[in-house]
Amino acid sequence: MQVLRAVENRRTLVRAANGGISCIVNPLGITIKDTEMFTRKVLVGDVELRTDKTFFTKHPLLFSIH
């Protein structure tokens, strides 16, 4: 699901999980770094901070589920 969100919003996504897989996903949906399940690790990576809005961010309810 995090890959779809990264691509949809054209943002780097950082996921921190207590009991799962933490990861960094770039705006193209490619996982840059990740951890194994139930391990203690530190992920270090570059994340671009952006303020522009994508089409899906501007119109979140355009494709709603009926």
Q: Can you give the pLDDT at residue 1? A: 82
- Reported as a single tens digit per residue, the pLDDT across 18-59 is 888 899 999 999 999 999 998 888 889 989 888 898 888 888
Q: Is the Cβ–Cβ distance between 15 and 25 less than 8 Å?
A: yes
Q: Which of 19, 5, 17 is nearest to 43 (CA)?
A: 17
pLDDT at res. 8:
86
**DSSP 8-state class, residue 37:** T
Q: Whole-model pTM?
A: 0.77
β-bridge pairing 31-34 and 23-25: antiparallel
Euclidean distance between CA atoms 37 and 56, whole angstroms: 31
